[in-house]
């Protein structure tokens, strides 16, 4: 279950207490003590396995799969075979073969299945979507301090995949070319990476992701005709710089009187709360989730292509430590 699984339990319980049509039945963790601790905290039952949960509560309708990525397929398979709808945390799986099996299983069992790409539910991202015209250049930074979490995957699958999903959603164009470099710093996996994507539309996207930074930064900036838009995930803030607009008229400081700066209204909300509400709505209405398993597979496919590009680059420049970091 881990830290993020506990957060899912917390938000489900908060939604229940606030009158949403949901009831938190229980939490599952093979570490019984950890499961008991979280269950007591949120007033539900603790289980040591998914099978124990399903045997005790055949009425379970939906579940969050917030476990290490290597277990996503097995856990989600057990749940969907029991006719339980699932939200599967990102990355969707460890391989495209596993992702394809999840997609096929959800279709065969007619299950609502959502990928947990949390930033899709960031209020600033949602407020930015209507502003898109023709984005042609992205610059994205996602930097975090090192923590002993999610070390089963490298920084591309741990952090950068959030932004890959957002840029693919914003740009609506397939990737034409991938260039990437990365290094392991404090773990046996790549901890810092820089990526340049060229999309079929001609759009260029640069990404930097690090989990060994001294500061926490989560920003996305992009340019489109006559506009520059800056999105701060952490502050849930979007600023629009428009050429030809009277800077003084907007009421915000502008670097140029011919450039207007507008702060986009953003309704602040915890992204996880918005994500779980959206998932539960899809479960109740039997509607397609905002972030489908196909979306999760698309982001995973690109992330794995980037991981391969990093490995190839390290071999070309004889960085043997990188080549050995990934079996």
Q: Would you give per-residue pLDDT tens digits along the chain (327 residues)?
A: 778 999 999 999 999 999 999 999 999 999 999 999 999 999 999 999 999 999 999 999 999 999 999 999 999 999 999 999 999 999 999 999 999 999 999 999 999 999 999 999 999 999 999 999 999 999 999 999 987 766 667 999 999 999 999 999 999 999 999 999 999 998 888 999 999 999 999 999 999 999 999 999 999 999 999 999 999 999 999 999 998 766 555 556 666 777 889 999 999 999 999 999 999 999 999 999 999 999 999 999 999 999 999 999 988 887 654 444 444
Residues 127 and 265 in one domain: yes
Can you read off the two tokens belonging to residue 83?
A: 């006719």
Instruction: Let me know if residue 6 belongs to a domain.
Output: yes
Cα separation, 8 vs 271, whole angstroms: 11
User: Where residue 245 sits, what CATH number does that domain have?
Assistant: 3.30.360.10
Q: Which residue in 9, 233, 217 sits closest to 119, CA to CA?
A: 233
Residue-level pLDDT at 326: 44
Can you read off the two tokens belonging to residue 226?
A: 């006559």
Instruction: Let me know if residue 295 belongs to a domain.
Output: no
The rounded Cα 168 to chain-centroid distance in angstroms is: 12
Instruction: Let me know if residue 64 belongs to a domain.
Output: yes
Instruction: Let me know if residue 19 belongs to a domain.
Output: yes
Long-range contacts of 52-55 (CB under 8 A, 24+ apart): 52/28, 53/25, 53/26, 53/28, 54/78, 54/79, 54/82, 54/84
User: How many residues are listed for the chain in this entry?
Assistant: 327
Residues 92 and 173 in one domain: no
Residues 155 and 197 in one domain: yes
Residue whose structure tokens are 């998932």: 279
Cα separation, 222 vs 44, whole angstroms: 44
Instruction: Let me know if residue 201 belongs to a domain.
Output: yes
DSSP state at residue 48: S
- CA distances from residue 53 to 5, 50, 200, 296 in whole angstroms, order as listed: 16, 5, 47, 26
Cα separation, 50 vs 105, whole angstroms: 17
User: Where residue 18 sits, what CATH number does that domain have?
Assistant: 3.40.50.720
DSSP state at residue 119: G
Residues 108 and 139 in one domain: no
Name the residue range of residue 64's domain: 2-116+273-290
Residues 150 and 181 in one domain: yes
Distance in Å from the first CA to the final CA of the chain = 26
Cα separation, 257 vs 243, whole angstroms: 9
Residues 46 and 32 in one domain: yes
Residues 250 and 284 in one domain: no
Can you read off the two tokens belonging to residue 191?
A: 């901890």
User: Is 15:280 a contact under the CB 8 Å cutoff?
Assistant: yes
SS3 151: coil
Residues 85 and 177 in one domain: no
For 189, list phi and psi in degrees, rounded to 5: -115, 170
Residues 170 and 254 in one domain: yes
C-alpha torsion sign, points 109, 110, 115, 118: negative
Number of domains in the chain: 2
Residues 236 and 257 in one domain: yes
280-286-287-291 Cα dihedral, nearest 10 degrees: 50
Residues 216 and 279 in one domain: no
Residue-level pLDDT at 250: 59
User: Is 44:25 a contact under the CB 8 Å cutoff?
Assistant: yes
User: Is 175:201 a contact under the CB 8 Å cutoff?
Assistant: no
Residue-level pLDDT at 323: 43
CA atoms within 13 A on the CB side of 69: 21
Can you read off the two tokens belonging to residue 72?
A: 């996503």
Instruction: Let me know if residue 148 belongs to a domain.
Output: yes
Residues 104 and 131 in one domain: no
- CA distances from residue 148 to 89, 91, 153, 272 in whole angstroms, order as listed: 18, 17, 12, 22
Instruction: Let me know if residue 204 belongs to a domain.
Output: yes
User: Is 11:270 a contact under the CB 8 Å cutoff?
Assistant: yes
Instruction: Let me know if residue 296 belongs to a domain.
Output: no
């Amino acid at each position: 279950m881990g830290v993020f699984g506990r957060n899912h339990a917390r938000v489900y319980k908060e939604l229940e207490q606030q009158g949403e049509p949901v009831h938190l039945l229980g939490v599952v963790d093979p570490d019984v003590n950890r499961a008991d601790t979280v269950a007591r905290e949120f007033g539900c039952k603790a289980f040591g396995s998914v099978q124990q949960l399903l045997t005790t509560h055949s009425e379970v309708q939906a579940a969050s799969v917030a476990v290490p990525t290597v277990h996503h397929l097995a856990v989600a398979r057990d749940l969907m075979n029991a006719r339980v709808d699932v939200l599967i945390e990102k990355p969707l799986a460890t391989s495209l073969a596993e992702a394809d099996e999840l997609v096929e299983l959800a279709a065969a069992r007619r299950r609502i299945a959502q990928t947990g790409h949390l930033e899709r539910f960031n209020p600033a991202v949602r407020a930015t979507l209507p502003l898109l015209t023709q984005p042609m250049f992205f610059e994205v930074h996602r930097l975090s301090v090192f923590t002993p979490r999610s070390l089963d995957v490298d920084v591309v699958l741990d952090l950068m995949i959030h932004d890959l999903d957002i840029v693919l959603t914003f740009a609506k164009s397939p990737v034409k070319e991938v260039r990437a470099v990365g290094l392991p710093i404090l773990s046996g996996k790549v901890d810092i990476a820089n990526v340049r994507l060229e999309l079929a539309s001609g759009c260029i996207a640069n990404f930097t992701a690090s989990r060994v930074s001294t500061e926490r930064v989560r920003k996305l900036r992009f340019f489109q005709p006559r506009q520059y838009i800056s999105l701060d995930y952490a502050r849930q803030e979007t600023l629009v710089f428009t050429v030809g607009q009277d800077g003084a008229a907007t009421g915000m400081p502008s670097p140029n009187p011919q450039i207007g700066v507008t702060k986009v209204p953003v309704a602040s909300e915890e992204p996880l709360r918005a994500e779980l509400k959206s998932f539960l709505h899809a479960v109740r209405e039997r509607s397609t989730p905002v972030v489908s398993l196909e979306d999760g597979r698309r982001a995973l496919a690109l992330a794995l292509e980037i991981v391969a590009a990093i490995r190839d680059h390290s071999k070309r420049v004889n960085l043997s430590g990188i080549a050995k970091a990934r079996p």
